[in-house]
Every structure is written in C-alpha cells, then in structure tokens.
Structure 1
Amino acid sequence: MASQPAHERARLLHDIADGIAAEQEQLAYLLAQENGKPITQTRGEVAAAIRIFNGLAGEATRVFGRQIPLDAVPGLEKHLAVTIREPLGVVAALVPFNYPVELYAHKAGAALAAGNAVIVQPPQKCPLALHRIAEIVNNAGAPEHAHQLVNGGPEISQGLAESAKIAAISLTGSTRAGKEIAKRAGLKKVLLELGGNDALIVCADADIERAAEAVVLGRLARGNGQICCAVKRVYVQDPVHDEFVDALLAQTAKLVVGDQLDERTDVGPLITESAAEQVEQAVQQLKSDGAKERTNGKRRNAFFEPAVLTDVPTNSSAFNDEIFGPVAPVARFKEPEDATRMASESPYGLQAAVWTRDISRAFTMARQLDVGGVIVNGSTALRAENLPFGGTKDTGGYREGIHDTVADLTSQKTIIVMDAFQ
C-alpha cells in the first residue's frame, strides 16, 4: 500500500464506493437483518459509506507537506526545510455493532487513503455486511493482504492493540473498551471515539414541537436508540416543561415498533436480548430513584418500547450513565447556566444540543458546554463525514472525519537541504 501513488489510492477508493453502490439495496437489507435497525435507516448508512469512500478518495490526493522558512532562525537563512507525510504501516480498525458499515468506511477507508494496510475487526454480533464489503474491496484491486478482516471478541482487539506490528489502532466503542485498548497499546497511536451521554437543552423561547421532534428522531427512532451521539438526557426550562412533555408524548405515541424489514417500522429490535435487558434495568433504576414513566416502556425479547420519563432526579446514576436504547429521560432547569453546568458535569463529552431563538444565548451556552460538538436547534444525533467528530473527557479526546483522520494516520518527516540558496 505504501508504494501506491496517490492517484492509484484515489482510484481504489472510488472503485470501492462504486462497488458498494452497485449492491446498496442488498447491503442495506443484509445489515438490517443482522443489526436490527430499520431498513429505511440502513439504506442511509450504506449511502453514507459510499460518500465517505468517495470523499476519502479526494483526501488521498491531498496528503500535503509544508515548506518551512528557515530564515526565521538566524544563521539558517540559506537552508531549506520541507515536510512530507508518510503512511504509518498497519492500522487496526475496531468497528462497533451500531453503525458498522459507516464507521468501517471512516476507519478502513482513511487508512487506505493514507497508504496504510488495514486489519479490520468487524463487530462480533453483526459481521456479515462487512465481509461482503471486504470482497468488494478485493475486487476493486487492493494490493494483496493490504485489507484483511479478522473475526472474534475482546481477545482479538486486545491482541491487535498489543502487537508490535500494528502502528495505530482506531476504535469506536465503549469507554471501558477504549481504556483497555489504550492500556495495552503502549506507545502506538490510538484513536478513540468512545461513549456519550449527550444532553439536549430546551430553553423557554424554543420551538417546542420541533425540539420534541429532535428528541424523538435523535433518540427514540434513530438506530433503535443505540447511538453514541443520541439524545440521552433532556433538560427543559420550567416555564415550558409541561408543554414540551405533552409534545414529546404525542409524537412518541406515533412510533411503530416492529420488524426492521418493514418499511413502516421506526424502531426495531436491539442488537441482543441482553442489551434490551440492560435498558430495562436502567429504566427501573430511574423509576426507583423517583422518575415517573410516562409511556409503556416495556421489553419484549430484544424489543424495547420507546420510553419517556419525567421528574428525573439529575443525581440518578442511571441518568448520568449511558443508556444504549430508546429511552428519553426529562429533567427540569431554572436558568440556562444551570443546564450547561449539569450537562457538563457528565464524565462524557461527545455532543450537546441547545434549543433557543436567541443566537447570543446559543453561542454563550455552546462555549460553556464541555463537549466536542454543539448543535443549535437540532438533535445531537448528527454526524457529517466532513466534520470532526468526537468529544472530551471519557469520550476519548479524538476527532474523526475524512479531513482529519487521513492526516492522523500518517507520520510527518522533516527534510532539510543545506545551502539550498546562494
């Protein structure tokens, strides 16, 4: 891979994108079958992967170095310094179950764009779509062994992290998994995008119906609630609290829970029955701590009915932990600074959302929030491939995106030409 010129890497990535596009519907169907997300959403995920590969093809031709003026240093006026970027070597890409095709594209595609070889560990619970895409990559003409998949559980990811032959490791997953990988990785480069407990803050001057819709679409009906950047905590200012809850309940009641292959379905099964049981336990903990459940929120095997809870105590452990399922806990606040303080007290710092018509208030609150991204008048469940995505604190500190990751998967070398000038 390292010997491939930029135009060949770009051609390879474009051909991979074209190969995925030729099987877009089949891949979306396969992903829905094994993952549980509604087919209407897996189509969007496969479409995102196509865009990512095409975008990374462009980035492969823009791996830039710099010319650094040495005449800034007395005595070095006649010399010339340039930097070049070189691939790291072999990159390990550890892919999660919730958005495997999209996040695979970010990791494996960026590694190839930078001239690295890549070893991909697909999610243990839903690897099939990535195995088919691996065949597409090979058919597109990737050099032999430059792109490989290896199946397995934690022993595989931990072994890759410890291997001296791996130059960098990229993981999207839980904070617990990220800490374990970082501990085992030693001095190799580690790119971590970990857990989140994203807050959505509704101020008194917000558009209430649209804010409620942002919670429904950004938490209850997107990825079955299994998204790191989903709306996981809702803070509503006292004067509009009841109005917001009424709107949220009315919209939640319209959601269709069922077969993920049915075009009408909004919420499918969680990845496993044990995952649904964990969500059920978290809801019970919220209720034990004093929250009121306003919906059925019942579990049926791996299905979990979307749940809305109010009067949630902000010191509840379940409220402060990441609930990975279709649950919307709603708490109150008095002043905007109270909401930003409570939102920032979380050990996670992925994204947050602020709903207000006051642009000055929006920017002020955005500055106060200790997170990696703030969405004004929208849902936290937003990721565009050309933006840096990641967060602070236990979210990992890294930012992933097509412009950032390619550069991060290279090393910088300085070349100095002595007496280049008369």
Structure 2
Amino acid sequence: MPVITVRNPGTGEALGDVAEHEPGQVDTIVTGAAGEGRRAMAAMPAHEREALLRRIAGLIEAEQEDLARLLAAENGKPIQQTRGEVQAAVRIFRAYAGEATRLFGRQIPLDAVPGLERHLAVTVREPLGVVAALVPFNYPVELYAHKAAAALAAGNAVLVQPPLRCPLAVLRVAELVEVAGVPDRAHQVVIGGAALSQSLAAHPDIAAVSLTGSTTAGREIARLGAATLKKVCLELGGNDALIVCADADPEEAARAVVLGRLARGNGQICCAVKRVYVQSPIHDAVVDALLAQTAKLTVGDQLLEPTDVGPLIAQAAAERVEAAVRTLVGDGARLVAGGGRNGAFVDPAVLVDVPAASRAFAEEIFGPVAPVARFDDVDEAVAMANESPYGLQAAVFTRDIGRAFDVARRLDVGGVVVNGSTALRAENLPFGGTKDTGGYREGVHDTALDLTRQKTIIVMDAFR
C-alpha cells in the first residue's frame, strides 16, 4: 500500500507515516461495515450507545494535551487553539451521548381523517445504516466528532476519512474509540484522497455521506450520491461579510476581524470574517484599530504558547493566499499591513480601498487576510454582502438593535452574529448556510435526527 509521510507544515519535520488504502480495499471495508458493524450498532440499546459515547469522551479528555500537541504539529494551528478544539470534541461526544437517548418518535392522531378514528399511528426512529464521514483539514478533530459521534448516537456504523495532510490526531482518537468498546467494524478509518471520497459517495452500501469541504468537492459528492439516492449532508465554503455601521465601536469591530480572521485557525476557517464593509464615517477609525491590533500578533512556531498565527496547512496553500493578495492589489486595493510569505507562513494582511467588484474579493481566501471596503448606506452593504455565491454566516456591528435585526433578516446566510465575529460555532446550534455553502445544517440537536429515518407503524382498531 502507498505510504504518506505526515509533516509539520512549518518545519517540514516528519511526524509519522500513514498507509493509504487502495481503491480495491474500499468495497471490502464498506461491506464489513454494512454487515457486521451496521447490525451491531442497530441492535445496541440507546443507553448503551450513550455509555459508549461517554467513555469515548472521557478517553479523549484524558489525553487532551497530547492530542492538542499532535494536532498543532501536523495542522499548523497554534497550540492554544488546538487545545480548544480537542475540548470541543469532548463536549460534542458528551452532547451526542445525551442525544442517543432522545431520538423521539411521534403519536399522530388519525382521528383527523374521517373513517380512521379507531386506529393508532406512531413513528419510530431507525438508523440509516452506514455513514461516510469526510473530514476536512482545518478542524479535523472537532468536525470528526460532529460526524462520527452523531452517526454512532443514531445507531449507525461510520466510516471516517480524515484529511490526508493531518490525519494523525484523528487516527489516535479512532484508537480510543476502539478502547471504549465500539462494536467490531462499526467505526473504521479509511485513508485516501479525492478518489477515495468519490468511491464512498458512489458505493451502494453507504446510506449517507457527511462532508465538510469545498463547494467543488461538495458538488461532486452530491452528484455521485444521487446515483444511489443516498442522503448527502454538505457544509461547504463561505465568504462571510462583517458590516460595521457608523454607530459601532471601532475597537470592538477591529477585534472581531482580528479574532475572527487573522488570529484563529490561521485564517483557514469556513466561517472566518473574509469581507469587511465599514461605513464611511468610522472607516478610518476601524482601519487604525485593525492595524494596531494586527501589529501585536505573533507569527511563528505553532507549538509555542505566545504564537497567534502558525503556518498554513501547506506551502501551496500559502502561495494561493499570496496570489490572492496580489490580485486584490492589482484590482486597486492597497496593502497596508503584512501579506509577506515565508514557506507556509503568511504574515497577517490588511488591505483597504478594496473594490467590491474584485474577483478575489468575491472568492474565498483561505488564510489570514482582512480586505476592507467602504460603504455609505446600509442597504448598499447588505446588497454587497448578498452578492457572494456563498451564504454561511455574516455579522453586523451596530448599537441599534432594530437595525441589527433588520440587517440580519435581509442577509441571505445561515447565521448572523450581532456585534461579534462570524467565526463562531457552538455545537448545540445549527451550523451551515445557503447557496453554494450547501444548504445543510449541522449541530447536536439536528444531525443525530438527520442520520435516522422515520418509520410509521399503524395499529388498526386500537381504540374501541
């Protein structure tokens, strides 16, 4: 089997070798999960699924520092942020443990239909079968937890495909899942690239595919899944807008840009602040605050505690960000801070006078880049925000709560944050967006139900 060497993106240090699955192995793996694994999970009572997920959470928690360091080394995110990611995974597994016991059915009154008054109808929730969980590189442990824990809570078997560039932390968590006592073949990890993802999406024994990734990948997975009419759950790209109105606090607005774009996930977050629109009266004040706060960021080794921004996932990713900055400048924007590249590192960049019509402004830049555009009228800002093909999240800064709700209602996105950064995801909230973001919502209370199917049972003449 081909072997992939996983490396620290900042130093190039080899962290471990991982065997990549051959295409011919996929069918055997899926068949095992669809047979033995699926049956074992479907037969497991809800209280046992709850206990299993709680054991997994406890095992992850016991190793959280080692997992955080491993994740930082292979992914590039600063260690303080990977600690938060591992802690989120612990919470997610515990939350889905509770959901395993709350997969409620319904009693539907048949006396609403003439002639059916004496009959009883109930619905029950059943697992789908085998779920394929396709995990991205930017938050691999947290998003693995959202997908795998949901699948197991609902009584499914799950096949996990971790990201090729940083699979090690997910592989270690998978070992902990085995230690926790998951049934044989009910939780398996498959290693590979796009061809493997496509094989899983097309396989007739896969009942559902959950993907967090690019819009391009999502379209292909949806196309392949349609051939077997499987459920496809897509959380795709974003180009989140932050609208700063004239009555906002410039320092707080700037802080939302720094924390939500430049200093979180190295800018590699689907819900990061990617477009900043500032109303003219406070434009200069916001830019001044943004530059002052950006200057305090530390770029460097992701394993050092003071680091705010580490290396991107690969040098090629950093080169794409560098090229996007050049395009913005070529379109008329002014680069007023950062933008330099050293290997996989990109200095946090701030650009002003960004033309709203710039192609690079409309596309998703996956790195620490904050492009700022000016607007005069709030309606103009809403229109510009909605012009994006993506619709994940957006934010509005204003002291006028009426204006905040008005703008929130008019933004064509899945979530709106008032007076805060768009880079916000709580596991108990529905997360996802409109348009090219995929249309799906992932969250503890939604996903467990989404990975079940309803069966209606009718008892004739149940009532005298």
TM range (shorter): over 0.9
Matched, 1:237 2:279: yes
- Which of 449, 453, 464 is equivalent to 1:411? 453
- Which of 333, 349, 361 is equivalent to 1:307? 349
Match of 1:277 in 2: 319
SS in 2 for 1:131: helix
Match of 1:53 in 2: 93
CA positional deviation for 1:279: 0.1
Match of 1:248 in 2: 290
Matched, 1:63 2:103: yes
Structure 1, residues 242-296: CA drift from partner, whole Å, max 9, x if none? 0100000000000000000000000000000000000000000000000000013
Aligned partners of 1:383, 1:133: CA distance in 2, in Å?
22
Matched, 1:87 2:127: yes
Q: Percent identity?
A: 75
Matched, 1:155 2:223: no
Match of 1:218 in 2: 260
After superposition, residues 3-402 of structure 1 pair within 5 angstroms as 3-186=43-226, 187-402=229-444
SS in 1 for 2:131: strand
Gaps of at least 5 residues in structure 1 are: none
- Paired residue type of 2:386: S
Structure 1, residues 296-354: CA drift from partner, whole Å, max 9, x if none? 31000000000000000000000000000000000011111111111011000000000
Aligned partners of 2:261, 2:410: CA distance in 1, in Å?
23
SS in 2 for 1:294: strand
- Paired residue type of 1:210: E
- Paired residue type of 1:43: R
State the TM-score, normalized to the length of structure 2. 0.91
Q: Show structure 1 runs of 4+ deviating over 2 A.
A: none
Structure 1, residues 6-34: CA drift from partner, whole Å, max 9, x if none? 00000000000000000000000000000
- Paired residue type of 2:88: A
Aligned partners of 2:114, 2:279: CA distance in 1, in Å?
60
Aligned partners of 2:105, 2:384: CA distance in 1, in Å?
43
SS in 1 for 2:385: helix
When the two chains are superposed, the root-mean-square deviation of aligned CA atoms in Å is: 0.4
Aligned partners of 1:335, 1:2: CA distance in 2, in Å?
56
Aligned partners of 2:192, 2:330: CA distance in 1, in Å?
37
- Paired residue type of 1:328: A
Aligned partners of 1:126, 1:417: CA distance in 2, in Å?
52
Aligned partners of 1:335, 1:62: CA distance in 2, in Å?
47
Aligned length: 422
- Paired residue type of 1:150: V
- Paired residue type of 1:311: D
- Paired residue type of 2:296: K
Structure 1, residues 328-387: CA drift from partner, whole Å, max 9, x if none? 000011111111111011000000000000000000000000000000000000000000
Structure 1, residues 28-59: CA drift from partner, whole Å, max 9, x if none? 00000000000000000000000000000000
Structure 1, residues 368-407: CA drift from partner, whole Å, max 9, x if none? 0000000000000000000000000000000000000000
- Paired residue type of 1:368: R
Aligned partners of 2:116, 2:205: CA distance in 1, in Å?
38
CA positional deviation for 1:207: 1.1
SS in 2 for 1:148: strand
- Paired residue type of 1:161: A
Aligned partners of 1:277, 1:157: CA distance in 2, in Å?
25
- Paired residue type of 1:131: L
Aligned partners of 1:408, 1:344: CA distance in 2, in Å?
28
Aligned partners of 1:342, 1:348: CA distance in 2, in Å?
12
SS in 2 for 1:2: helix
CA positional deviation for 1:198: 0.1
- Paired residue type of 1:180: E
Aligned partners of 2:380, 2:59: CA distance in 1, in Å?
50
CA positional deviation for 1:213: 0.2
SS in 1 for 2:170: helix
Aligned partners of 2:95, 2:205: CA distance in 1, in Å?
28
